[in-house]
Chains A and B, each alone.
Chain A
């Protein structure tokens, strides 16, 4: 696991370049997919092609092998990296090749074929300019599509000037590119073997699609007589026609380009003649097209992933990098922290767990906070946060249980073994909150002492620089029980779910919600209810989260049956009910709670839309406000409802567009991640301090976001529902 020191160092040395590039790609993605009128349909088509292909994989591999052999090529299915490398070394040896040129391929990084060939004395040259920079610098990729994303132009110029000592020092991107093109161009035409990856391979014709921009993959194939394509077995799809959605989606989803310069559709061996580039007499067409083609398909754990109900989705990944670019933490640290042996970003947890093992996934898995911003960005709809949660659960279970004396009483969870103390503390936050309210204000005084903060830091890894929540003595449930409903003839009846924070800490927003709903004609009850399970789920404690989910549905079920809607203030809990519970409880129970639950502003919007009068609420005339929505709320498409209601109430609203505030539940409290959390938060701070925004009061929907903004700004933020109450 990356330590606070390692993360700090990476943010210092690589953070600026990573942030600029990933945010550029991410903004480009939003723009580019917005131009695509059938974006959602294309994503669904892509998803379903991949689902079917993985389902039919053994048959497709048989069909592909037959087709490629009929075309005159050879197929080798390698069990693992060593097997693949032995085969490739043999091909290179039989060709008696001195030089192998390569175009960019993550799968070839996975098997480390360069090392294997170099050990045989072969000169291996990366021709993708980013990969070449890293080869010269002897560094690892920090991004699956743009491998040298962590390097600035200045650092590349410095590297080249030092290593190659050109007559005129290189400075601009144009000069650096020209220099690399010339140097690599000479090496490409002099090579015997070309190694490429493959983004997709079609079983019907044996056609491989290569998605590139520089033209180096085209040259790598055209200028050599022996082509070795290295790809994971999961890259096979049925037909050439199936390529269509992927061609439209891959560039847009990744770097935000509508399409990359070249999509090569190669059915090797290709017809292009093999020429001697020093020949001054023979016309091009007089050369023979005498080519060898080897397709090396790599298992290396993938077929076991196919049999794993939770890791299988990883195999749908088309390596576009959308999950990296849309990830707030990745934007700050890049793939050198948020990555394993080969792969980086959110989906890397699935790849590294399946290919390398849990120990490698553990090194970076905590950097996924479950914010879900990658979910809608993924062109094949992979539930990347769920894969991270499952792997975290497995990592927890791999560990020895912490001493019972430490957790006794504080952790009434369902975890038989495993989860480390810090995770169990945050996962059982409900117990802490109950105790905190019951003993407030003493609990707050005690928690704030230097001595307890030091103990929390040492035992639980809670960063002393974070303010702790202040527990209220009277919970929302207690308050609601002490008063009668204010609505005589209700239009609707609702149960306001007392989420952990609203019930124990931010009780005022709960009271405001009750008052707003009542003034719109809703009869509201606030019964005691278990916490949603969000806290244990985020720590990878799935059994405990499932227990919460079952108890929540048992508690709310009778209310729903009695005709009440479920209204939820905390967006992360609403997302549990409408998204995550699908994984935890049976289908009927999930449908019941998901269909009857509403985020509080979604509910208010619906009430107003159905005739409730805005005049029952506090309205203003053009007052300016800044609104930060919540990551999981945005993924569910529910930011717009809050904005619309605030505008209806007369507010002039500007919204932030950062992917996450950086707090993400317990993440920002952890000593190892506090500084990263603040670095992510800094992007939100910048937006909230922009011209025209800096004097606006701030409202935010999520508990974590409110805490983070409170730490970032002088202005104290509030939940927007508090603006509406009369």
Chain B
């Protein structure tokens, strides 16, 4: 059987979402490579509790002003889960404004721990169900770039990002 990660990456490719992978220690380099400047992001290290996620050695402006957000090309956020069979990301909505950073940009770069890839939608909804019932909250199941067919043909990049890139942080590397 295909591994969760392989099916996830296959699904992302079909959606036109690019993928790179990295060890924790090389994360900042991977982020630097993945962003198109100007880039903004949210403070991942506070959520993860790991300095490797501080983004200080990257071109990313962490916790930007609203004007900087609107001028940015790339937004960098974490992703709570990946969903193997759909290539979806589960994005949480935090007080740090991850929703704004992943949405009001042309290019969204999502950082995902390999162990957070769920095999399928059933498992992912079960995870979300558990979290919502324990601590409340909201989430977006985001699959590929924003899109519309309302103008007579399929166009990527409607109100939300036109490009999505996923950085998979590998386990035990």
Contacts and interface: CB of A to CB of B under 8 A. Distances in A.
A215 interface: yes
Interface string B55-75: 000000001111111100000
A658 interface: no
A207 B160 contact: no
Given A129-B148, A156-B152, A247-B121, A271 B137 contact: yes
A378 to B, nearest CB: 21
Contacts of A263: 140-141, 143
Nearest to B61: A283
Interface in B130-162: 132-133, 136-155, 157-161
A680 interface: no
Contacts of A216: 158-159
B125 interface: yes
Contacts of B86: 258-259
Interface stretch (A145-153, A448-456, A495-503): A145-153
B171 interface: no
A557 interface: no
A275 interface: yes
Contact of B132 (A128, A205, A279): A205
B143 A279 contact: no
A244 B122 contact: yes
Contacts of A243: 125
29 contacts: A129-B148, A130-B148, A148-B150, A153-B152, A154-B152, A177-B155, A181-B159, A205-B136, A215-B159, A218-B140, A222-B99, A240-B133, A247-B121, A259-B143, A261-B142, A261-B144, A261-B146, A264-B140, A265-B140, A266-B93, A270-B99, A271-B94, A272-B99, A278-B67, A283-B63, A284-B63, A284-B66, A285-B96, A285-B97
B1 interface: no
A520 B143 CA distance: 56
A380 B63 CA distance: 44
A266 B138 contact: yes
What 10 pairs across the A-B complex have the smallest Cβ distances? Answer: A153-B152, A215-B160, A214-B158, A130-B150, A173-B153, A284-B97, A215-B159, A129-B150, A215-B146, A263-B141
Contacts of B63: 283-285
A649 interface: no
A309 interface: no
A258 B154 CA distance: 15
A263 B124 CA distance: 13
A156 B151 contact: yes
A189 B104 CA distance: 10
Contacts of A172: 153
A158 to B, nearest CB: 12
Given A262-B160, A277-B66, A222 B103 contact: yes
Contacts of B13: none
Q: How large is the interface on B (under 10, 10 to 19, 20 to 34, 35 or more residues)?
A: 35 or more
Interface of B: 42-43, 63-70, 86, 88, 93-101, 103-104, 121-122, 125-126, 128-129, 132-133, 136-155, 157-161
Contacts of A265: 128, 132, 138-141
Interface in A209-246: 213-216, 218-219, 222, 239-241, 243-244
A184 B146 CA distance: 15
Contact of A283 (B65, B129, B147, B149): B65
Interface string A284-320: 1101010000000000000000000000000000000
- Which of A129, A133, A214 counts the most B-chain CB atoms under 10 A from its CB? A214
A282 interface: yes
A587 interface: no
B125 A241 contact: yes
A268 B93 CA distance: 11
A577 B130 CA distance: 47
Nearest to A70: B136
A279 B70 CA distance: 10
A31 to B, nearest CB: 13
Nearest to B143: A259
Q: Which of A239, A255, A264 has the most CB of B within 10 A?
A: A264
A177 B146 CA distance: 12
A272 B98 CA distance: 8
Interface of A: 71, 127-130, 133, 146, 148, 151-154, 156, 172-174, 176-177, 180-181, 184-185, 188-189, 204-205, 207, 213-216, 218-219, 222, 239-241, 243-244, 247-248, 255, 258-268, 270-273, 275-285, 287, 289
Contacts of B157: 177, 181
B86 to A, nearest CB: 5
B129 A239 contact: yes
A204 B133 contact: yes
Contacts of A244: 121-122, 125-126
Nearest to A152: B152
A80 to B, nearest CB: 31
A283 B99 CA distance: 14
Contact of B158 (A129, A248, A264, A280): A129
A214 B151 contact: no
Contacts of B160: 214-215, 218-219, 261-262
Contact of B100 (A130, A181, A275): A275
Contacts of B133: 204-205, 240
Contact of B136 (A259, A267, A283): A267
Contacts of A258: 86, 143
A189 B159 CA distance: 12
A262 B141 contact: yes
Contacts of B154: 173
Given A262-B140, A270-B93, A279-B66, A176 B132 contact: no
Contacts of A185: 159
Contacts of B142: 261-262
A247 B141 contact: yes
Given A185-B159, A283-B63, A284-B97, A214 B148 contact: yes
Given A129-B150, A205-B136, A284-B96, 7 more contacts: A153-B153, A215-B160, A219-B103, A258-B86, A272-B93, A272-B97, A272-B99
Given A129-B158, A262-B141, A272-B99, A146 B65 contact: no
A146 B141 CA distance: 21
